[in-house]
Amino acid sequence: MVQPALTKTLLTGVIAGVVGGGAILYGQQGVQLLQNQNQKVSTTATSTKTIAKNATATSAYNKVSDAVVSVLNFTKSSQGSYQESSEGSGVIYKKTDGSAFIVTNNHVITGAAKIQVMLHSGKKVTATLVGKDAMTDLAVLKIDGTDVTTTAQFGDSSKITVGENVLAIGSPLGSEYASSVTQGIISAKKRLVEATSENGQNYGGSTVIQTDAAINPGNSGGPLINFAGQVIGINSMKLSTSSSGTSVEGMGFAIPSDQVVDIVNKLVKDGKVTRPAIGISLINLSEVTASEQKSTLKIPDSVTGGVVVMSLTNNGPADKAGLKKYDVIVGINGKKVSSQADLREELYKHSLGDTITLTYYHQDTKQTVKVKLTQKLAS
């Protein structure tokens, strides 16, 4: 029998899981294929130990600044004229076959009837939307590459360290302040923040880098770079007030470059991102009290992290594999799972049809099971 306190905890988890945390294993955002360029970009592994000792904010900025652009979103009036609706930032990451490709935030171009890009030189050119992904808040644009002289290089975000110096570059408050740069540090390598689609579907969370480098309206879509001048993230949002209304300073977030590279390659190749699902809703084990973990989940005291299965899709991959409600997943493919972010990050590296191995506790028994990813995330 479920204890009353745990019932309340887990009921809250179901609501949050189905709409939020669990929805990350169900939702998928697809877009029309506009271009198909098969040349992929990749990350270059650079840790703080290998960044040149004489590297400075100025030297890092100079490597990237010419590749940073302003992105102008135009809507169409009832009279048929175009009016600038909003502005953001972006970074040119590839030039091929006479075209240049730009990564920016999905929310920067949402609702646009026309998109313009202002280059570092100040020249404005028309951009074509290649693809967008609401879950990761990323979009890829294409422009004529004639005037593009510099492309940015992606660094390896898995190699970043807390306390490492970083720069945020973009157009805070619009193109009037284009190519502004702010300096800060990596405050945390991995945070899970809310992610919502244009139609209001809550995807439950997005894994991001936290930084105290100033990120303001208009910086969205611009690069977060290390002192080697490599893009380690795409600036996406800032936290200005807490849920209680308390004013917050120095909490900005960027999409990690490893995730960015994976998504932009898929968008350029296929115009959409198709994700696998295991068919569960879940909550973090940390949301369940120690006494409830012992009395209801019945897991060993040594289990300190993981995700609790709250419900399963009938005949879904997890259901077919034999997982049950209240099982606690602690690993995927040999990698430790402490939270939803860990599970999602590893799961989304796979494609439909792949088979993964989950490690989990069914009460006090540790087990492993193979799960074939036959279900894709619902739109």
> What CATH number labels 57-144?
2.40.10.10
What pLDDT, in 10s, does the model give residues 35-75?
Answer: 333 467 776 655 555 687 889 999 999 999 999 999 999 99
Structure tokens at 81: 């004229």
Domains 57-144 and 276-376 alike in fold: no
Taking 60 as the threshold, does the pLDDT of residue 26 lie above it? no
Is 112 in a helix, a strand, or coil? coil
Return the closest-CA partner of residue 178 out of 222, 145, 227.
Answer: 222
Neighbours of 124 (CB within 10 A): 14
Q: Which pLDDT band holds residue 376 (cuts at 50, 70, 90)?
A: confident
Handedness of CA 334, 339, 340, 342 (dihedral sign): negative
111, 137, 121, 94: CA torsion to nearest 10:
-120
What is the structure's pLDDT at 8?
35
The model's pTM: 0.77
Active-site residue, selected from the candidate residues 65, 89, 107, 281: 107
Q: Which pLDDT band holds residue 17 (cuts at 50, 70, 90)?
A: very low
Is 343 in a helix, a strand, or coil? helix
Active-site residue, selected from the candidate residues 175, 206, 220, 257: 220
What is the structure's pLDDT at 32?
25
Active-site residue, selected from the candidate residues 137, 156, 258, 262: 137
- What is the CATH topology of the domain spanning 153-270? Thrombin, subunit H (2.40.10)
What is the structure's pLDDT at 20?
23
- Name the residue with higher pLDDT: 189 or 18: 189
Q: What is the mean predicted confidence (pLDDT) over 129-141? A: 94
Residue 202: DSSP 8-state: B
- Asked if 107 is an active-site residue, the reply is yes
**136-150, 305-319, 331-345: the lowest-pLDDT one:** 331-345
Cα 379 from Cα 359, distance rounded (Å): 28
- Domain residues of the chain, as ranges? 57-144, 153-270, 276-376
Which CATH number fits the domain 276-376, given the four candidates 2.60.40.1180, 2.30.42.10, 3.30.420.10, 2.60.120.260? 2.30.42.10
- Cα angle vertex 33, ends 140, 36, to 5°? 75
Q: What is the mean predicted confidence (pLDDT) over 147-172? A: 96
What is the structure's pLDDT at 39?
61
Cα 332 from Cα 305, distance rounded (Å): 13
Q: What is the mean predicted confidence (pLDDT) over 69-93? A: 95
What is the structure's pLDDT at 204?
52
Q: Which residues pair with 88 in a beta bridge?
A: 71
Taking 80 as the threshold, does the pLDDT of residue 23 lie above it? no
- Asked if 342 is an active-site residue, the reply is no
Cα 237 from Cα 258, distance rounded (Å): 18
What is the structure's pLDDT at 85?
93
Structure tokens at 250: 């120095």
What pLDDT, in 10s, does the model give residues 222-262?
Answer: 999 999 999 999 999 887 766 677 877 889 999 999 999 99
Taking 80 as the threshold, does the pLDDT of residue 118 lie above it? yes
What is the structure's pLDDT at 4?
37
Taking 80 as the threshold, does the pLDDT of residue 156 lie above it? yes
Contact present, 370 and 323 (Cβ < 8 Å): no
Strands 82-96 and 124-133: unpaired
Neighbours of 366 (CB within 10 A): 14
Taking 70 as the threshold, does the pLDDT of residue 327 lie above it? yes
Structure tokens at 217: 């309206």
Cβ burial, residue 272 (10 Å; 0-12/13-18/19+): middle
Cα 353 from Cα 271, distance rounded (Å): 20
What is the structure's pLDDT at 48?
54
Token pair 């799960």 is found at 371
Cα 280 from Cα 103, distance rounded (Å): 32
Is 189 in a helix, a strand, or coil? strand
- Asked if 133 is an active-site residue, the reply is no
Cα 207 from Cα 78, distance rounded (Å): 39
- Name the residue with higher pLDDT: 8 or 352: 352
Cα 268 from Cα 255, distance rounded (Å): 18
